[in-house]
Amino acid sequence: MNFTVLISQMLQATLMTLRIFFVTLIFSLPLGLLVAAGRMAKTRAVSLPVRFYILLMRGTPLMLQLLFLFYGMKPIFGIQPDRVRAAEIAFVLNYAAYFAEIFRGGIEGIPRGQREAARVLGFSRRQTFFRIVLPQVVKHILPPMSNEFITLVKDTSLAQVIGVAELLKITSDWVSSAVSMVPFAVAGVFYLIMNAAVTRCFTAAEKHYGYYR
Partner 1 sequence: MPVLETSGIRKRFGGTEILKGISVRVEKGEVLAVIGPSGSGKSTLLRCITQLETVDSGEIRICGETLVQNGPDGRAVYSSRKTCGRIALHVGLVFQNFNLFPHFSVLRNITEAPIHVLGKTKAEAEASAMELLKKMGLSDRSGAFPCQLSGGQQQRVSIARALAMNPDVLLFDEPTSALDPELTGEILEVMRGLAAEKMTMVVVTHEMAFARDVADQVAFLEDGAVVEQGPPEQVFGRSQNERVRAFLSRFSQG
Q: What residue ranges bind partner 1 (CB under 8 A)?
A: 111, 113-114, 116-123, 127, 131-132, 135-136, 139, 209, 211-213
**Which one, 52 or 130, has the nearer CB to partner 1?**
130
- Whether the CB-CB separation of 25 and 152 falls below 8 Å is answered with yes
Distance of CA 97 to the CA centre of its chain: 9
146's CB contacts (< 8 A; 6+ apart) are 198, 199, 202
Rounded to whole angstroms, the Cα distance separating 113 from 158 reads 44
Q: How far is the CB of 74 from partner 1 (least distance, A)?
A: 49
DSSP E strands in 43-158: the ranges are: none
Q: How far is the CB of 128 from partner 1 (least distance, A)?
A: 10
**Which one, 48 or 121, has the nearer CB to partner 1?**
121
**Which one, 110 or 150, has the nearer CB to partner 1?**
110
DSSP for 87-119 reads: HHHHHHHHHHHHHHHHHHHHHHTS-HHHHHHHH
**Which one, 78 or 111, has the nearer CB to partner 1?**
111
Q: How far is the CB of 132 from partner 1 (least distance, A)?
A: 6
Identify residue 196 by its one-letter amino acid code.
A
